[in-house]
Amino acid sequence: MTDGGSLGWSRGRWAVVWLLTLAVQAGLGMELSWSWGVNQALVQASAAGLVLVQALKMLAATRRLADLGRPPDDAMWTLIPIANLLLAVSLLAASPKPELRERLNRSWGSQLTAVAAWRQGLRAVVPVLPVTVFGGLAIGGLVSGADVWLRDRVVPYLIDPTDNSLRQAIWAVAGFTGLYTAIHVSRGGRKSTASWAPTVFLVPALMLLIPERFAGPGSSGTLVYVMFLKAAFEAGVPMLLEGALIAWLLAAVDTREGRGPVDGLRGRMAAVAIVYTLRAQVAAIGGLIVIPAIWFSVSFAFSDLLAFDGAERPWSRSTDLVSGIRGKILKVLAVWFMAWNGLAFALMSPFVSAQEAFTGLFVGGDLPPAAEFGATLAHVVTVVVCALALRPILREREALFAEREARRAAQAGGAA
């Protein structure tokens, strides 16, 4: 490929801007680490500066991508450190000649990009935003209230050495759900989505058993129980409610856009709640190692949407549909991750320091109820928009797969 001229920025201009923004980000990052836990105002200023510089870096990458005939949402790779370096190397390639650039633009121009999908998701959520926020407020209130109740009422009962009844019940739940899940998986999981309902309680039950081994006496042991009990609760009840809310809002959007009313809404809500919760739990388990978490999140990105549409095996179907567009799905999820954390930090900042907010979001810990409320509200709102952004990509993929199947059937009929 030879340098065929520039429509946006030449590689030289882009390289200068990229190096400058990288240097500024490195300086702000060092300032952030030095002031961490010392100067709250400086931490917030450094964080805001990092966000601004990142936006400038993405804008510069977009201009360079226009030279290379690549989709502008590839600039989102600058959000991921390793992908950012790979993108930088690829953007140093020579600009193609105009006719080749035009062919490259046509190759992706008819497809829905991650940025366009998010635009559609934001437009779709506007009419149902009041219900979305109300649902987020309700779930956030439940989480923050349950946090206090679990700490004050349940934990003392769990650590009481004279009464083992609750711990024995947890062992029984873990044993039953584990055996049920093993049998279900061994049979291929071909039954209805509702048949996976007992599996939803497996991960929370196992999380409640961890303190049995690691919690010691005294206040430190109580803190371990608080952390794992809170994590177990949040891996179950709020996730089920979020999934049900997503299904209700999908039905509302369909009705508003003339594709409704949706039949069997309760069954759809139950199916989405189960699939969404299991998807979140699997991604959380994979999160112990980064790569599996990304793989699970991308592979099962369509699963709850497919459950809403009545697919019998939404997980395997989702894996099939994301094949070939994993990069696009990862970009959609990267935007969601940044949006969730940004909104959560904004809602938590009046109640906790930046360090406490960061620890609570990425490590876990005992946050004040108001901060828990803000983090949950941010998660609910952003995950709804993400689902609405993924939906047009799902429709595009299903249409493509249906077209391929029709072509194969026609070829088979012709051969016969």
**Tens digits of residue pLDDT in 90-140:** 888 888 888 888 888 887 777 888 888 999 999 999 999 999 999 999 999
What are the CA-CA distances from residue 161 to residues 155, 157, 217, 403 (Å)?
A: 12, 9, 11, 64
Residue 32 shares a structural domain with residue 159: no
Integer Cα distance of 7 and 103 in angstroms: 15
Residues 198 and 321 in one domain: yes
The per-residue b/e assignment along 237-266, b for 16 or more CB within 10 angstroms, e otherwise, is: bbbbbbbbbbbbbbbbbeeeeeeeebeebe
> Each residue of 232-274: pLDDT tens digit?
888 888 999 999 999 999 999 998 888 776 788 899 999 999 9
**DSSP reduced 3-state for 109:** helix
Residue carrying the six token digits 């567009």: 325
Same domain assignment for residues 99 and 180: no
Residues 247 and 274 in one domain: yes
User: Looking at the domain assignment, is residue 70 inside a domain?
Assistant: yes
Report if residue 3 sits inside a domain.
Answer: no
Q: Are residues 183 and 132 in the same domain?
A: yes
Q: Degrees (nearest 5) of the Cα angle 167, 373, 294?
A: 75
Q: Positive or negative CA dihedral for 90, 96, 102, 107?
A: negative
Give residues with Cβ within 8 angstroms of 238, minimum separation 6: 139, 142, 143, 376
Q: Are residues 163 and 301 in the same domain?
A: yes
Residue whose token pair is 């584990």: 178
Instruction: Examine the domain organization and report whether 26 and 128 are in the same domain.
Output: no
Amino acid identity at 106: R
Within-domain flag for 192 = yes
Which pTM value belongs to this model?
A: 0.84
Nearest to 271 by CA among 293, 232, 244, 245: 244
> Quick check: is 275 in a domain?
yes
Note whether residue 5 is domain-resident.
no
Q: Which amino acid is at 274?
A: I
pLDDT higher for 357 or 191? 357
Q: Which percentage of the chain shows pLDDT scores above 70?
A: 86
Phi/psi at 11 (5° precision): -65, -30
Distance between CA atoms of 271 and 9, rounded to whole angstroms?
49
Choose one of 110, 135, 162: the last residue of a domain.
110
Q: Is residue 244 domain-shared with residue 99, that is, in the same domain?
A: no
The last residue of one of the domains, among 110, 143, 159, is 110
Q: What angle do CA 39, 351, 227 make, to 5 degrees?
A: 100
Q: How far lies 252's CA from each of 131, 245, 259, 260, 412, in Å?
A: 10, 10, 10, 8, 41
Residue 1, pLDDT > 50, answer no
Q: Where are the beta strands (DSSP E) in 11-153?
A: none
The string of DSSP codes covering 175-232 is HHHHHHHHHHHHTTS-S-GGGGGGGGGHHHHHHHHHHHHH--SHHHHHHHHHHHHHHH
- Residue 79 to residue 92: CA distance in whole angstroms: 18
Euclidean distance between CA atoms 184 and 278, whole angstroms: 14
Same domain as 121, residue 65:
no
Residue 1 lies in a domain: no
Q: Give residue 3's pLDDT band: very low, low, confident or very high (50, 70, 90).
A: very low
Same-domain pairing of 138 and 97: no
What is the structure's pLDDT at 160? 63
Of 256, 300, 263, 280, which Cα lies nearest the Cα of 394?
300
Q: What is the pLDDT of residues 188-243, one digit of tens each?
A: 655 678 788 888 888 888 887 776 665 544 444 566 666 777 778 888 889 999 99
Please tell me the predicted confidence (pLDDT) of residue 67: 83
Domain count, the chain: 2
Q: What is the pLDDT of residue 251?
A: 93
Whether the per-residue pLDDT at 347 is higher than 50: the answer is yes
Would you mind telling me the total number of residues written for the chain in this entry?
416
Task: Report yes or no on 2 lying in a domain.
Answer: no
Render pLDDT for 13-71 as a digit per residue (tens, 0 to 9).
Answer: 878 888 888 888 888 777 777 766 666 677 777 777 888 888 888 888 888 888 888 88
Distance CA 299, CA 322 (A): 6
Residues 335, 374, single domain; the answer is: yes
Cα distance between residue 102 and residue 96, in whole Å: 9
Phi/psi of residue 9, each to 5°?
A: -110, 140
SS3 content of the chain, % helix, strand, coil (to 5): 80, 0, 20
The verdict on residue 321 lying in a domain is: yes
User: Residue 411's pLDDT is what?
Assistant: 82
Q: Show which of 47, 75, 110 is a domain's final residue.
A: 110
Residue 6, by phi and psi: left (phi above 0), alpha (psi -120 to 50) or beta? Answer: beta
Domain span at residue 330? 117-415
**Does 183 lie in the same domain as 64?**
no
